[in-house]
Structure 1
Amino acid sequence: MVRLLQILMVLFLIKGAVAYQGFSWKIDPEMKKKVVAEVGDVKITEMDVQRYMKVLLPMNYYHRTVTDEKLKELRKKALKALIDRELLYYEAKKKGIKIPEKEIDRLMDELAKRYKSREKLEELVKQTGITLEEFREELKKRLMIDKLLKEYVQVNLTEKDLKEYYEKNKYKFKEPESLKVRYIYIKVDPTKPKGRQIARERAEKAYKEIQEGKDFGDVAYKYSDDLSRIKGGELGYVHKGRFEKKIEEEIYKLKPGEVSGIIETELGFHIVKVEDKRPERIVPFDKIKEKLRKELTEKLQQEKYEKLLEDAKKDVKVVIYNK
């Protein structure tokens, strides 16, 4: 399954030919003559850029209006991606990474089978502006880059790695004092002549029911205009800054189990129940571990990726025309 996904990822050219014809994006063959960038002795043409844009377009602006400004932004993305690809390909060759020809043969056969025949595959590839042989080289290049990234960029952090980082950087995981609250918000409808009075009366009804001993969650579901009403007004733990200052001045005085009075602001009326108070703390490792794994993995992989590009740029000159 993983292997098939890799194949599909690298074969954006075929996808471009089949999936995106609805954009009526005709690529002028003359664009193949227009060089827009050079990476060492490799020339990147406007046709290359247009082909890549054709793939990026539905990924970035699906069902959205594509303005000239957005197309310029998309072109920059496409050109950068193509330049980075050539730099990574250079690094792959420099590091001696190879893809056996028999593996390319096998993948070409697999694709021909997927698209019914080699003739059909060739027809689809031609729609992208290149020959089947050029496509084969494109595939080889992409598999070499894929292998380079796996060997030099991929990061697999152990729990020990995460724990060591956590212990050295505990200050990053400090969490301020927080309150666990349930919330009722009655908004003022400014389009109604007596909007504020109507909202106040509704808030007073809600507050009266709470005072009579009705469950706060049930009252929130019945009266609140906040989305949290579907969970009985539950917001979980919130830090300072979640509410307006006027509300916070009231609720931070409350003890767990206590309910505020009706707090009026410009936007409406608020009733808050404090269920728990949690002092400032360092978030426990077990609570942050998986989030830390994701964020740290992405950070380290990005650093390794950028280093590969920088190493290549020390040897390879990059020139961009008509920025």
Structure 2
Amino acid sequence: MSKTVAGCIWACVLAASMVSWSQAPDLQSMDLVLRSVPDGPIAKINGQNIAKEEFISLYQTELLAVTSRVGSKNVDDRLRVETALHSLRTLLQHEILYQEAIKRKLAVSEKELDAQWKEAMTRLETTVERAGDKDLSEEDILKKAGKTREESRAELRKSLLIRKMRDQIAAEKKITVSDADVAGFYEKNKAEFKQPERIHIEQIFVAARKGPRDPDDPKKKEQARQKIEQALKRVQAGESFSAVAKAMSDAPDASKGGDMGMLPVTQLPPIYVKAAASMRPGDISGILESEYGFHFIRLVELASASDADPQKAHAFIRSLLMAQESDKAVAEFCQTTFDTPGAVEVYLQLEKTIATTPGLEGLLPDRNQQEAGPKKTGNRSASKPSDTEKKPESRAKKPVKP
């Protein structure tokens, strides 16, 4: 695992809790997974509870990634359950690794923690800026997430200890990836590494409403139209695009002069792509209207679709294959705990949900292979995790372009 992965996971979960799901539907009333969450802990490993809040945060973060991948928030029940099983497995493994790290007396220095904290907060600032919140302090960001600085640093320290434990397991297994492995993977997945058409654009945006669901306000819309016209006139008169963007744009990148950077066309608003198709580098578009307000763009550069840089692709593939081998080693390491009677207790009622929801039967293991009776813990019935809960199948990892 790379040095920043643990911090990335922590930052993504924290960001999701304060940004992404603020506009999501009420999952508690519709999500069969969240209806399976108990009032108490989600699981217990060697007597240590895993809080339901940890599961909900990670599940919602991973579900958000799924909705982004499928292009819709209407995710079917099977995919929700598969996501939940993956989240549950991740939390169980993390707790096992954390306990082992403590047992081995691994430590995270204040210097390491400070460095990772700085990187994580930078990522969070970028995330909230993209969501429309600008110039937020560290205190503001943590307040939006409902976390104190001490709580957040403790969670980050735990994530870093887990990463160190993963690294130790990988080192003990002497995991390596050969040049032949890398080359073979590249040849089999060459199409996945093609660079799509990319466009470098600068934008100026004036909001007419906060979102497409907000009621249309003719007065505010007219004010926005007048403001964008003023901005365009200033640019056409020779004023720096960057200066006008900083002064007048409502876009998250206004502080950077409206520079969106070089992006694949699939990541840009369709109205920008359509406008850029008839432009040459240096051209300024006319005023474009969207459901959010008014825009105009400056085309900086166009890049045609092309093959990826083999050197960069190979570096990425090596990292990917190393991570996959490390995942296998970690799974093998954690299996010892899963196989220890009484070590792991799961209270999430996913098995019941799967059994009673049409179309999900295939996610259950063979009943003949399950243990006969549940163990009683207090007033709750907690059986040893079934194979479904302990070792949910990982979703296929499609190569991500470097």
Q: How high is the TM-score relative to the length of structure 2? A: 0.42
**Aligned-partner Cα distance in 2 for 1:232–1:220:** 5
1:283 positional shift: 1.6
1:182 and 2:176 equivalent?
no
Shift in Å, 1:289: 4.6
Aligned twin of 1:210: 235
The 8 Å contact of residues 163 and 285 in structure 1, kept in 2 or not, is answered as no
Which amino acid in the other structure matches residue 47 of structure 2?
R
TM-fit CA distance, 1:263: 0.5
Q: Report the Cα offset of residue 147 of structure 1.
A: 7.5
In the alignment, structure 1 residue 261 sits paired with structure 2 residue 286: yes
Alignment of 1:213-224 (within 5 A): 213-224=238-249
Greater CA deviation, 286-295 or 215-224?
286-295
Instruction: Tell me how far 1:57 sits from its aligned partner.
Output: 4.0
Candidates 292, 299, 307, aligned match of 1:274: 299
**CA deviation digits over 1:113-143, x for unaligned, max 9?**
xxxxxxxxxxxxxxxxxxxxxxxxxxxxxxx
Secondary structure at 2:260's aligned position in 1? strand
**Other structure's SS at 1:270 match:** strand
Amino acid corresponding to residue 212 of structure 1 in structure 2: A
Alignment root-mean-square deviation, CA: 4.8
Contact map agreement 1:254 1:260 (CA 8 A) in 2: yes
Cα 1:298–1:191, aligned 2, differ >3 Å: closer, same or farther?
same
Amino acid paired to 1:269: F
Aligned residues: percent identity? Answer: 22
Counterpart among 46, 56, 60 of residue 54 in structure 2: 60
Do the aligned partners of residues 296 and 148 (structure 1) sit closer, same or farther apart at CA in structure 2, a change above 3 Å counting? closer
Would the aligned equivalents of 1:181 and 1:237 in 2 still touch at CA under 8 Å? yes
**What one-letter code is carried by the residue in structure 1 that aligns with 2:54?**
N
Task: Report SS of the residue matched to 1:199.
Answer: helix
Is contact 1:188-1:267 (8 Å) kept? yes
Partner of 2:47: 51
Distance 1:276-1:160 versus aligned 2 partners, 3 A rule: farther
Q: Distance in 2 between matches of 1:78 and 1:237?
A: 34
Hey, what's the Cα distance between the residues in 2 that align with 1:50 and 1:288?
42
Check if 1:237 corresponds to 2:262: yes
Distance 1:250 1:262 in 2: 10
Q: 2:220 is aligned with what amino acid?
A: G
In terms of Rg, which structure is larger? Answer: 1
Give the AA of the match of 2:282.
Answer: G
Cα separation, partners in 2 of 1:78 and 1:50, compared to 1, 3 Å: farther
The 3 A distance-change label for structure 1 pair 78 and 255 is closer
In structure 2, distance between residues paired with 1:227 and 1:82: 35
C-alpha distance after superposition, 1:156-209 (max 9, x if no partner): 336665455334432121121111111111110468651011111110111111
Question: What SS does the corresponding residue of 1:282 show, helix, strand or coil?
Answer: coil
Structure 2: runs of 5 or more not aligned = 1-42, 58-83, 107-165, 210-214, 342-368, 375-381, 384-402
In the superposition, the TM-score normalised over structure 1's length comes to 0.51
Deviations 1:189-233 (A, max 9, x none): 468651011111110111111111122111111111111111111
Q: Which has the higher helix share?
A: 1
**Aligned positions of 1:133-172 closer than 5 A:** 150-152=171-173, 155-157=175-177, 161-172=181-192
Q: Any conservation in 1 of the 2:170–2:329 contact (CA below 8 Å)?
A: no
For these two proteins, the number of residue pairs brought into alignment is 211
TM-superposed deviation, 1:245: 2.8
CA distance in 2, matches of 1:177, 1:207: 27
Judge conservation of contact 2:45–2:92 (CA < 8 Å) in 1: no
- Describe the superposition over 1:84-140 as per-residue Cα deviations: whole angstroms up to 9, x where unpaired: 89xxx9xxxxxxxxxxxxxx9xx89x9xxxxxxxxxxxxxxxxxxxxxxxxxxxxxx
Using the alignment, how far apart are the partners of 2:337 and 2:52 within structure 1? 31
Q: What one-letter code is carried by the residue in structure 2 that aligns with 1:233?
A: G
CA distance in structure 1 between the aligned counterparts of 2:94 and 2:220, rounded to whole angstroms: 58
Query: CA separation in 1, counterparts of 2:94 and 2:241?
Result: 58
Checking the alignment, whether the CA contact within 8 Å between 2:285 and 2:298 is kept in structure 1 is: yes
Is residue 55–residue 91 contact of structure 2 (8 Å, CA) maintained in 1? Answer: no
Change (3 A) 1:192 1:306: same
Q: 1:149 to 1:312 in 2, by over 3 A?
A: farther
The aligned runs of 1:268-307 (5 Å cut-off) are: 268-306=293-331
- Which residue does the alignment assign to 2:277? 252
Q: 1:233 & 1:256 partners in 2: Cα distance?
A: 16
SS of 1:277's equivalent in the other structure is strand
Distance 1:192 1:82, change over 3 A: closer
Deviation at 1:307, TM superposition (A): 6.3
Q: Distance in 2 between matches of 1:146 and 1:216?
A: 47
